[in-house]
């Protein structure tokens, strides 16, 4: 396996594990007092920007919240956002635009 193939396999493994965690979140599993209701991914407009993951959910009081996580690659952005939700380090804000 070439070094490039190994890099791709590592990224694919990271995304696959993150998707398993996201599946648990989609089934209503609460993490650090938050229930996740959705996730959006914004790709950079050029090769210089970061991928941004927007996570939405609600807290124990039922208040709609939103959080953001960015990284240089898709795998790092999605994997990092899900990991931060799981380990309680995601910085949540009141979602003033929630419907």
pLDDT digits (tens, 9 = 90+) for 7-54: 788 888 888 888 888 888 777 766 778 888 899 999 987 777 899 999
Q: How many other C-beta atoms lie within 10 A of the C-beta of residue 81?
A: 25
pLDDT of residue 22: 81
Name the burial class of residue 60, with classes exposed (0-12), middle (13-18) and buried (19+) by CB atoms within 10 angstroms of its CB: exposed
- Quote the pLDDT of residue 6: 81
* Residue 80 to residue 86: CA distance in whole angstroms: 10
CA 2, distance to chain mean position in Å, is 29
Determine the Cα–Cα distance for residues 18 and 10; give it in Å rounded to an integer. Answer: 12
Predicted structure pTM score: 0.82
Higher-confidence residue of 96 and 24: namely 96
């Amino acid at each position: 396996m070439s070094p490039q193939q190994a890099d791709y396999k590592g990224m694919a493994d990271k995304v696959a594990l993150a998707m398993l965690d996201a599946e648990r979140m989609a089934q209503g599993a609460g993490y650090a007092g938050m229930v996740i209701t959705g996730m959006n991914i914004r790709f950079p407009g050029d090769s210089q920007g970061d991928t941004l993951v927007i996570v939405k959910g609600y807290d124990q009081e039922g208040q709609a919240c939103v959080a953001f996580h960015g990284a240089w690659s898709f795998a790092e952005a999605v994997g990092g956002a899900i990991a931060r939700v799981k380990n309680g380090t995601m910085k949540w804000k009141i979602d003033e635009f929630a419907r």
